[in-house]
């Protein structure tokens, strides 16, 4: 179906079916030079290897498309492990408040933040939400993301949470980009309720309804999320919700230890969480527990940067053997679609190496979503999701801050070219 020929560099990420890369594994990403790759009609990778070997092996085959990758780099499609992309209402005015010194929680308590977005999202129709969501996913795709985790969480009542999940389900069926969906009804405590009342409502009403819709085939949710935070959901409420989600077959993947140390990491490790996000305030014990439990840390450099928070301790996590993944945290509070920019910030502000950042935005982010058996690296049998960049070295994807618009030449999902950037043909990427 598709042949990519003679790439200057072909970045496999893993070469041996690793489900994730820890610090030691990420030290030497597998990179082939003068290599080709074949994707079959089923959308999966059939062969990766030296150009002349592939040419001989497929000398009799016919291809729908052949792309000459001479002087270019082929990489796995990027995986964005944490986004909030379904919402209505513009919060650009809050950016000025933050720049003037207002904290996240001050804006939240003044009726801004999540509650402002909830009010607008409740009023929006499903069609309106789908239209803006589609545009946002398109922008993510053009920035190189081929698999994105998408959360609900701006409804806080059953009706609006289901409306958001239906919008995500519709995009799963109609768009090329891969989606892992997350129920995040415990994103904030709804106005007029206590955290305990909100917890009971989620466990007694929301989750049974999700289970029913899953059985009828209407909505398939992959993950459960809770904002475990002081003044939001405490550790005990978080435990109850996550356990109830796990009981109906959802993967645990939640917000923890962001603004205050909450022992979220310890709780996640104990409950068998697949991933925990944020972790700016994680304890040393929490880091060790996550490493032992093979629970991924989804770090969000944009949030720490925009809210001027303490940076997550990426180096300490990597040295302790934690599986470190990255996400954009795209939402009205951190408006960034671009995983290349996220990787750049991770390297500069969190002291990750470029190899570690690429592993964190591919195989490890796929692992955080329970999808590293099919996504996150260029290996035979995996889904043919990849990028071709107009540069002789793959590091340009991270090095050029905000440069992806003229650097990413092709985005390919399941062997199908879903974005082709003509500007790359007419200009050098340097």
Cβ neighbours around 32 below 10 Å, total = 19
> Could you give the angle at the alpha carbon of 259 between the alpha carbons of 20 and 92, nearest 5°?
95
Task: Give dist(CA 393, CA 270) in Å, integer.
Answer: 42
Is residue 193 within 8 A of residue 202, CB to CB? The reply is no
Contact criterion met (CB below 8 Å) for 47 and 38: yes
Q: Where are the chain's structural domains?
A: 2-76+377-420, 79-369
Q: Which pTM was predicted?
A: 0.97
CATH number of 79-369: 3.20.20.140
Question: Which candidate, 310, 303, 224, places its Cα nearest to that of 268?
Answer: 224
What is the predicted pLDDT for the residue at 109?
Answer: 80
Q: Are strands 251-256 and 275-278 parallel, antiparallel or unpaired?
A: parallel
Find out whether 350 and 312 touch, Cβ atoms under 8 Å. yes
- Under-50 pLDDT residues of the chain: none
Return the pLDDT at 426: 66
Look at residue 423 in the predicted model and tell me its pLDDT: 85
Q: What is the domain class of 2-76+377-420 according to CATH?
A: mainly beta
Asked if residue 165 lies in contact with residue 221, where contact means CB atoms within 8 angstroms, the answer is: yes
Query: What's the pLDDT score for residue 303?
Result: 94
Give me the pLDDT at residue 26, please.
53
Reduced to 3 states (helix: H, G, I; strand: E, B; else coil), residue 348 is helix
Residue 24: per-residue pLDDT: 62
* Residue 139 backbone phi and psi in degrees, to 5: -65, -35
50 vs 34: CA distance, rounded Å: 6
Instruction: Report how far residue 144's alpha carbon sits from residue 358's, in angstroms, rounded to the nearest whole number.
Output: 12
Residue range 239-290, pLDDT digits in tens = 999 999 999 999 999 999 999 999 999 999 999 999 999 999 999 999 999 9
Query: What is the Cα–Cα distance from 248 to 243, expressed in whole angstroms?
Result: 9
Sole residue written with tokens 């009726």? 111
Query: Which pLDDT does position 222 carry in this prediction?
Result: 98
Tell me how far apart the 2 most distant CA atoms of the chain are, in Å. 69
3-class SS shares of the chain: helix, strand, coil, % to 5: 40, 25, 35
As a whole number of angstroms, the distance between CA 93 and CA 110 comes to: 13
- The whole-angstrom separation of Cα 301 and Cα 352 is 11
Residue whose entry in the numeric block shows the structure tokens 């070219």 = 417
SS3 label, residue 179: strand
């Amino acid at each position: 179906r598709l042949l990519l020929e003679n790439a200057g560099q072909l970045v496999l990420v893993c070469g041996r079916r690793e489900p994730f890369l820890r610090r030691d594994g990420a030290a030497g990403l597998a990179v082939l030079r003068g290599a080709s790759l074949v994707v079959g009609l089923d959308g999966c990778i059939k062969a990766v290897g030296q150009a002349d070997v592939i040419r001989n092996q497929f000398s009799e085959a016919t291809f729908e498309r052949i792309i000459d990758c001479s002087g270019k780099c082929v990489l796995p499609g990027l995986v964005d492990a944490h986004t909030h992309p379904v919402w209505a209402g513009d919060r650009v005015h809050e950016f000025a408040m933050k720049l003037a010194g207002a904290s996240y929680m001050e804006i939240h308590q003044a009726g801004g933040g999540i509650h402002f977005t909830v009010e607008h999202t409740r009023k929006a129709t499903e069609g309106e939400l789908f239209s803006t969501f589609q545009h946002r996913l398109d922008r993510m795709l053009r920035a190189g993301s081929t698999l994105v985790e998408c959360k609900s969480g701006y409804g806080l009542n059953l009706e609006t949470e289901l409306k958001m999940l239906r919008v995500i389900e519709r995009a799963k069926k109609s768009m090329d980009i891969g989606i892992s969906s997350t129920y995040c009804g415990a994103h904030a405590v709804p106005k007029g309720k206590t955290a305990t009342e909100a917890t009971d409502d989620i466990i007694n009403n929301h989750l049974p309804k999700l289970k029913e819709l899953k059985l009828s085939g209407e909505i398939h949710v992959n993950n459960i999320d809770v904002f475990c935070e002081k003044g939001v959901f405490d550790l005990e409420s978080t435990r109850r919700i996550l356990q109830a989600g796990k009981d109906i077959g959802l993967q645990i993947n939640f917000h923890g230890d962001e603004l205050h140390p909450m022992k979220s990491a310890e709780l996640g490790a104990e409950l068998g969480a697949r991933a925990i996000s944020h972790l700016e305030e994680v304890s040393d014990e929490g880091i060790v527990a996550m490493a032992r439990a093979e629970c991924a840390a989804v770090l969000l450099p944009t949030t720490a940067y925009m809210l001027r928070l303490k940076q997550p301790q990426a180096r300490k996590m990597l040295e302790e053997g934690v599986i470190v993944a990255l996400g954009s945290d795209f939402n009205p509070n951190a408006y960034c679609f671009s995983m290349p920019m996220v990787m750049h910030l991770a390297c500069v502000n969190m002291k990750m190496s470029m190899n570690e950042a690429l592993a964190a935005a591919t195989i490890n982010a796929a692992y955080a979503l329970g999808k590293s058996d099919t996504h996150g690296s260029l290996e035979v049998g995996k889904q043919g999701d990849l990028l071709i960049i107009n540069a002789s070295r793959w590091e340009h994807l991270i090095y050029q801050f905000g440069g992806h618009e003229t650097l990413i030449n092709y985005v390919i999902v399941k062997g199908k070219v879903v974005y082709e950037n003509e500007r790359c043909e007419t200009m050098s990427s340097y």
